[in-house]
Amino acid sequence: MTLPYYCILMDFEMKIMNGYEATVEIRKVEKSYGVQIPIIGWINCSYNGF
């Protein structure tokens, strides 16, 4: 199977389904295909004055 993506950039502060929940669902699907795509997670953090 050819992977359509090399990695996933995941925002962990999404409104409907947070990044952790989305990652769990992605991992469930990956098991059925026998692949695992790297997931890079981040939290948007901004400071006043920058």
The predicted structure's pLDDT at residue 37? 92
Domain spans of the chain, in order of start: 8-42
Question: What pTM did the predictor assign?
Answer: 0.73
Q: What's the CA gap between 50 and 46, in Å, rounded?
A: 8
The predicted structure's pLDDT at residue 8? 93
Polymer length in residues for the chain = 50
pLDDT digits (tens, 9 = 90+) for 13-47: 888 899 999 999 999 999 998 889 999 998 877 66
The predicted structure's pLDDT at residue 10? 92
Given a cut of 90, whether residue 4 has pLDDT beyond it is: no
DSSP secondary structure letters along 1-50: ---S-S-EEEETT-SSS-HHHHHHHHHHHHHHHT----EEEE-----TT-
The predicted structure's pLDDT at residue 40? 95
Residues 6+ apart with CB under 8 A from 22: 10, 14
